[in-house]
Amino acid sequence: MTVITMVVRLDLCSVVYGIFLGILVLLSRRCCYRLWPGYVVILMFLLIVQYLSCVGVPLAICWGLYFFCASFGNKKVKFSRAT
């Protein structure tokens, strides 16, 4: 599955995937067992980075942009910082 992701994306994240897979292939099973939790953490981090780069940061996280005004259909909603 990771190889398919690398071939389809062809970006910096796929290079990181490839480096980690190359390291895991060259190591023994005992070393792979020790490095696997770190590999999973890196994959989770990269998944979050890819999501935020494609979809954008959710408005609930954007605390500093209290002046932002968005329109939903015919209604305009003013977002304000929670006090």
Structural domain containing residue 42:
2-56
DSSP state of 67: T
pLDDT digits (tens, 9 = 90+) for 11-37: 787 888 888 888 889 999 999 999 899
Q: Which phi and psi (to 5°) does residue 47 adopt?
A: -65, -45
- Confirm whether 75 is domain-assigned: no
Number of folded domains that form the chain: 1
pLDDT digits (tens, 9 = 90+) for 24-83: 899 999 999 998 998 889 888 888 888 877 777 666 666 655 455 454 555 555 555 555
Q: What is the pLDDT of residue 3?
A: 77
Tokens of 45: 């981090």
Q: What is the pLDDT of residue 74?
A: 53
With a CB cutoff of 8 Å and minimum separation 6, the contacts of 50 are 13
- Confirm whether 74 is domain-assigned: no
- Confirm whether 78 is domain-assigned: no
CA 33 – CA 39 distance, rounded (Å): 10
